[in-house]
Structure 1
């Protein structure tokens, strides 16, 4: 794969195991992560990278089940690609992820750097979330989703709008539901995000 990527103009650094990946990702513009590693669980490597970095990350794996895909996305991956695949598909996915990860919520660029909603506090500048002062660790996409809902606290945000603004309209209904479920769990109460059937979601107060 590295040879093919180089032929398309990319500079590649190959990490043979999870420990090496955790040492190398800091200088990367994008990470392609295999889940089958000789020393560490690939999902744990994904979580470790995502806990400290917003580098675009694509999981490339032979694990094809829906459960594996959901776990990969919940761990913070921006995309999940299963073998076999062609280099043209991989290049297209790299380009799509790169486009999507350039987007930031409007609040991050505007004057309202901090959003308070009941016990919930969102700092759009530092991309930090707390509930009752306790930090909540969210992935990049989870933060973007929550921030978008918090910008419109009394409005139902349509599912289509979430897809367009957070994922670039290239993902599925299941992607939104998976991330909403994950954010609810991390915030500690499902009432923080309310589902309005057939329309979308709105921020709740717990």
Structure 2
């Protein structure tokens, strides 16, 4: 195990612990129906930091992968025949429910748009549902539990973007994560420079 691999492994371990702490902050593991709005904002702020750190860890892993040449996709198999049903009976088709996924490459921010201050006339107060927070926590846990698979998927996406002449991903400033733990704070400070170094050959190797 080289130094960078060890950093990535330890970073994901500390991120997993921080996700547990964020969940425990609002007792989300108990499945509450409502939590205080201020508490929800605190948990959301912590998750936002962790999402950025985990996203950058996976990006750094993806940049270190060597992809094999893409094999042609096999021809699609013939669809299975529908079962014989009594006359007038049809199979019920239910909408597919997909869990929330952590976007490994954030959408590009649009700097254009109307100015002014946001309209707060419709702002609500009081307790809120924690379902969105729970979904974000579940998405983080899925990525942390299988980082190699997510890094491979991201590496393929990066290769496709590079081949199409897309600009390289932009890496923002370090995320202030020292309030989560000293280890995550140090890691968050280190990641932008590491990722920028991994993207140095983006234009020349496309």
Higher helix share: 2
**TM norm structure 2:** 0.22
Q: Which has the larger radius of gyration?
A: 2
Higher strand share: 1
**TM norm structure 1:** 0.22
